[in-house]
A = this chain, B = another copy of it.
């Protein structure tokens, strides 16, 4: 089936068309860009929630419970479960199958998992596009969950309007190990498995850390709340959803949503420019044999890679006054 036909079906609410288009974009089909172009005007409607946390923190269970609560208000939910470690743990696979069955019972829920398959074109790039497709399909809420705290996870979670960072008592030696990158992206901290030992200590340390960063920030800013949950029993999840919605309302009412959208848009354009330009330039340099010459020089240590890169860019700099 042609992608155009799938787009028509998707816009009519066809879930199989939705699944197929996601697969095409994930696999980097030649017309992926066209798909995003066509759907783009329909996007910008979903509330996007990002969740990240270490393996074993109960992310999937929490996402399922959050979904249940959101469904009580009749909002539809699309879930993207990103697991860059899936080739090793395989956990995602089994868990996903069970979750898929749950979703199959409720037409207001759709679950999609993404592993390293999309990794070649960039997992965060692919996730971004899948969010857009779900947004265009019409989900009221899109939840992106990812494991870990590496660069790509941070990028993935930053796409969300509201980013949740999950902690669990007793996993690390100390909260000191939650570093800059993660602190910056957290809009809400969740202490899951809050019936475990060390929960008070963890909360004290989180609060202290928030205090420390407070003085550097502007007035009227959002102070990330800390919510305790026991996801497996649903404890605290209602309060968590309230905080998430409160944060989204905060974004809207303080005009921060517009600024947020602008910032993410700029980042997205820059990322695309980077990849597309490199593709063009490298193809040209390869055709002319320039690239091979430079590679030879660097391989023989007669030139360092930074100088080689500059030599490739030099003609551009002159011509375009870069």
- Chain B residues within 8 Å of A291, by CB: 266, 269
CB of A150 within 8 A of CB of B85, answer yes
| A33 in contact (CB, < 8 A) | yes
Q: A150-B123, A316-B277 are in contact. Are A88 and B309 (CB under 8 A)?
A: no
* Cβ-based interface call for A47 (8 A): no
Interface string of A140-156 (1 = CB under 8 A from B): 00000000111111100
Contact in complex: B37, A304 (CB < 8 Å): yes
Neighbouring B residues of A84 by C-beta, 8 Å:
148-151
CB neighbours of A270 from chain B (8 A): 278, 282
- Mark the stretch among A60-68, A228-236, A293-301 that contacts chain B: A293-301
The answer on a CB contact under 8 Å between B151 and A301 is no
Q: How many residues of A contact B (CB 8 A)?
A: 88
Query: Which of B54, B93, B299, B322 is within 8 Å of A284, CB to CB?
Result: B322
Contacts of A44 in B (CB 8 A): 301
Separation in Å of the A121 CB from the closest CB of chain B?
A: 10
Smallest beta-carbon distance A173→chain B, Å? 5
Interface of A: prevailing SS? helix
* Binary contact track A112-126/B, C-beta < 8 Å → 1, others 0: 000111011011000
CB pair B177–A89 under 8 Å, yes or no, is yes
Number of copies of chain A assembled together: 2
Instruction: List residues of chain B with CB within 8 A of the CB of A150.
Output: 84-85, 116, 119, 123, 148, 150, 152-153
A87-B182, A261-B299 given; 19 more Cβ-contact pairs under 8 Å = A33-B306, A37-B306, A86-B179, A87-B181, A88-B182, A89-B177, A116-B149, A116-B151, A120-B181, A122-B151, A262-B295, A265-B295, A266-B295, A272-B305, A272-B306, A272-B309, A276-B309, A284-B321, A315-B320
Listed A/B pairs (17) with beta-carbon separation below 8 Å: A84-B148, A84-B149, A86-B179, A88-B177, A90-B172, A93-B173, A116-B180, A116-B181, A120-B181, A123-B151, A262-B296, A270-B278, A272-B305, A273-B309, A277-B322, A284-B322, A319-B319
A interface residue numbers (CB < 8 A to B): 33, 36-37, 40-41, 43-44, 53-55, 84-91, 93-94, 115-117, 119-120, 122-123, 148-154, 167, 171-174, 176-182, 258, 261-262, 265-266, 268-270, 272-278, 280-282, 284, 291, 294-296, 298-299, 301, 304-310, 312-313, 315-317, 319-322
